[in-house]
Chain A
Amino acid sequence: MSEANDKVPAGTPAGTPPAAASRPEAIKAIPVRHYGRWISAILVLAVLGLLVNAFANANVNYGAIPDFLFDSTVLKGLRNTVVITVVSMALGLGLGIVLAVMRLSKNPVTSSVAWGYIWFFRGTPVYVQLLIWFNLALIFPVINLGFYKDEMNQFMTPFMAALLGLGLNEAAYMSEIVRAGIQSVDEGQTEASHALGMTQGQNLRRVVLPQAMRVIVPPTGNEFINMLKTSSLAAQAAQYAELLRSTTDIGNTTGATVEMLFLAAVWYLVLTSVFSVGQYYLERRYARGTTRNLPPTPWQRIKQNLGTFRRPEVAR
């Protein structure tokens, strides 16, 4: 009851001033009734009911989904999806940082190279890029990098084509994210580190990038989740055996085409949900030193909210 004052509805006159400071009189007021909420909730439930009914009566063999949920082919596809997402993002982030630094460089040659790269890779569909990488052997039968020489067909495996197609495209987007992050850091930071005798590279690694991370991490998490889903393009374009490819294959052999697409959707939802949680904790980590107190984790928040449910209602 000690928090009675906090619960006064806005705009309600407080009535008589509390007689005793320790025990203000509880307020008697009729709360606003939210009829709109009730109506919209009923509408939503009705639509949901129709949808469930439609799908329940549709020609779908739902039993097939749990049967194949942990099928070894599906799990292998799942693993490959995670692998290609992680390596493509790693390539995208690494190259993205390099491109961002080049873009911000005072040297006009470096900055225009970065600009041209971003222009090309952002300006063409990633699906087209994947197809080009995968079919590169048609125009370059042999790859010769000086230190490495091979038949292009040997080199450009589905994995390689997927990695280059997804990773190089991602680098263009990541570089813009990293650039925004670097530019968000106060110039005084660079001045201070230079005044201490730190080199450009040390300043970037130790001072600027760690602070830029606070701006970089949230959109990078989105990019990661996008990549989990975009990697499904490599199923067709690069014949890479990721999740969608393995579920489609099962669908084709068993005839349960749509069921297997549902199964893929379930796994994509699981993956994106798991990585969203990871993203949350990463953001907390890079908030270090920027706020006096870190915000509570979801778990801590749940415990707090349980507390508020038990708190007595006052305005009634």
Chain B
Amino acid sequence: MNFDFNDDQKMLKDQARKFLSEKCTTKTVRGVFEGNHHYDQALWKQVAEMGWMGTAIPEEFGGLGLGYLELCVIAEEMGRALAPVPFSSTVYLFAEAVLIAGTEEQKKKYLPKVAAGEIIGTFARAEAPGAVLPKTIRTTFKNGKLNGKKIAVVDGPIADVAVVLAQTGEGERGLQLCIVDLKGAGVKRTDCITLDASRGHSDIEFKDVSAEPLGKAGEGWADMQRILDRAAILMAFEQVGGADVCLAMAKDYALNRYAFGRPIASFQAIKHKLADMYVGNELARSNAYYGAWALHTGAHELPLAAAAARVSATQAFDYASKENIQTHGGIGFTWQMDCHFYYKRAKETGLVLGPQRAWKQKLVTELEHSNA
């Protein structure tokens, strides 16, 4: 039994934590929240210099060729630091999409640029509030031209390229992914006002925009599921990282805040709350580890592992971030304290790849298959 990261991976994690604790404090996060940029450009450059974007990209495409376990440990640290950079959309979504569905040529064209930090990528799927379903996709991809509108695309304001889910005919069988240059003619981006201002979002309109197919027509829906599964596992590590910081903050505050002549950490209502956070975080971490194993080995359990990691991590981060505010009392509800950054990031990470509700349905579908 060896269900843990190895020493090299732990060393990488320590390095990442050290690096981020210097380069990405909550001041950095606040800077993006309060400024008018959509990300921290200096940090993004430094992360690129570390080569992290290429962690799981094979060497032949300019990456470090380390692997997914290594990417998981970095993801956890990015999550802890609330890093205000387009890492998840570029690496977990865009690069994974190219790796999964791209041709050799497309891999050569895009992956080295991702690894070098030269392009920012994202993934655009939703078109309206509510569930994303084959029938809700109205954006068309016909004769090499993309037409339609996507909403609340994460890192939309700053992305160079996007993978877009579009309709080539009708229903699920008509869906296809394509890659589009967001700087090209006919692309109109409108910044969105969102809850988590440390991550930019925009609506994107396409009018006769040239795009290239990614994967086959008719396989867009299945391709997207595979990409989302992989991204969900990596995102679960970010969520677990964030949730652990919430517990540490709550604990630190509770030990030092006095009420009724004693530390509030000595009140059971607070102790039990923190114990529950701990239980939730540990369960989420264990589910995320199983996801990491599935990602690393390409096990056929991957979709189930992904859904479990996603649901568990979303629940843990939600709980830890809201009860962290509660533990802080009035000061926790101020803009000046950092608590709200985690509360908002928990929501952002919990919605960006699709909501808990949808992942729970998917989880049970996978269970039904595995029992059949």
Do A and B actually bind?
no
Residues on B facing A (Cβ under 8 Å): none
Residues on A facing B (Cβ under 8 Å): none
